[in-house]
Amino acid sequence: MMKRKEFMLGAVAGLFFAAAATAGGAIDWPTAEAGPVAGVSGRLNASAGANGVAFAPPQGAPLSFADIFAQVSPAVVQIEVETRREAGPQDSLIQIPGLPFAIPNPNQGQQDEDGGVRGRGAGSGFFISADGFIVTNNHVVENATEITVKLADGREIEATVVGRDEETDLAVIKVEGSEYPFVSFEESAQPRVGDWVVAVGNPFGLGGTATAGIVSALGRGSLDSRTPYTDYIQIDAAINTGNSGGPTFDIYGRVIGVNSAIISPSASGGSVGIGFAIPASVAKPTTDRLMRGETIARGYLGATLQTLGRAEWRALGLPDDFKGAYVAEVTPGAPAAEAGLRQGDYMVSVNGTVVDGSTEATREVARVRPGDNIRLEIIRDGRRQTLNVRSGTRPTPSELAALNSGSGRATAPGQPPAAAGQVVEGLTLSAITPALRQRYEIPDAVTGVVITDVARGSAAAGERLQAGLVITRVDNKVVSTPAEVEAAIEAVRASGRPGVLLFIRAPQGGVPIVLPLSND
């Protein structure tokens, strides 16, 4: 289960990338074909009354998916991987919600002499050419030291990685040989909500499995910050652990998507009918480039952008229909900083394209080749300005995570919060001191005012604010003392706005919160 943030405003469902990760143990891969049933031969007659038309499918619905499965299943493969990665705290202990202590991790892999963790995983894939190129998910093979592909006819062949793209979660691997059965992406017709789909893959290591359903929704935005460039196809054909990298077919046997993730409320990752596939419109051009040996390079600003909702824009005194992305952070020395972009700017267009939030802005920047010019239109202090940025090369999600690894937990374990400072709107605030920075593990680069206590029953408590979080800006004004926070809040109150926008620094990054103001 993967949570968006430790600092959450509501319930979060589990999001699973559907690659199996089993720690040790051998798995017997069954084939996709079944033999004759013992003691049964000849034609089996339907029960009496089954020949009526009362239960005939509606016009346009297939009588069966058997022909489709027979047509495409030879191109679908099972993928078994041996993995190795650096050991982390999660490898020895896991925390069960509700328990005050951690327990040994039953899925812990075997540690080698160098301290790395070895394990096994399984996923799915499909041939995209006769000469052995196979499409799968990046997360299936990203830590693989050995890859074994099992074909529908039972053959097992070693494979190598040709190329990976973390930000679309796509990868291409290759086996030696030729004349493999392969399938093609659908490039012309777009699937519609309600269209039939068939998913074929390797759920729970069972292999050769087909599930059917419909397209449930289109254009599901980025499910995870690591994959910002994909609007997923949502399907209700059952996708489970191990289906990752397998194809989603239409009823003509064309690949419309690559199965990638599911939402599941349980730790097992079982299907509840909400699965996500990378659309062919994203998968084909990306995998074509990977097959040619190209590295996927995208434009880069070096700025953290946020999408604000109507309530947040309204709290800043802007109209509900305002369109733009909020510049939450600017990386020192990055292209955006060199061009003069500042924290607190509103980015309203990229190269002439109006952006409605961080996702649109990030995708427009990514379309630019590294080294080319990016024209940004921003609003700063109520005035429109244009900035010209020479694009850098966007780091991979792994590289970005390494750059941001200095953020700590909101509260050091075992230490009670220090309730000292000035009380403002139910928040006890203090300037960041070396002692508070150490207590709450606040990175050196973070500035602002730290929350040391929250009054029970206050509006702040209702917004899930807690000790250890840092207020970096109030009404888009930088603050460093409790007095500056109070003054900014009073200015908002005097303007007649019912709430003030706070920018909170949580361990995972900046979070905007609209704090309702009291009538005092």
Please identify every residue annotated as catalytic. Answer: 139, 169, 244
d(CA 190, CA 256): 8
d(CA 228, CA 230): 6
User: Residue 275's beta-bridge partner residues?
Assistant: 235, 262
Which residue's entry shows tokens 């979060």? 12
- The full DSSP string for 395-437 is PPHHHHHHHTTT---SS-TT------SEEETTEEEEE--HHHH
d(CA 258, CA 201): 11
Helix (H, G, I), strand (E, B) or coil at 487: helix
Compute CA 490 distance to the chain's CA centroid, rounded to the nearest angstrom. Answer: 39
Helix (H, G, I), strand (E, B) or coil at 25: coil
- On whether the CB atoms of residues 384 and 393 are closer than 8 A, the answer is no
Kindly tell me the sign of the dihedral angle through the C-alpha atoms of 117, 123, 126, 132: positive
**Length in residues, the chain:** 520
φ and ψ of 338, to 5 deg: -65, -30
d(CA 397, CA 366): 14
Which residue's entry shows tokens 């005012």? 449
Copy the structure tokens of residue 267.
């730790």
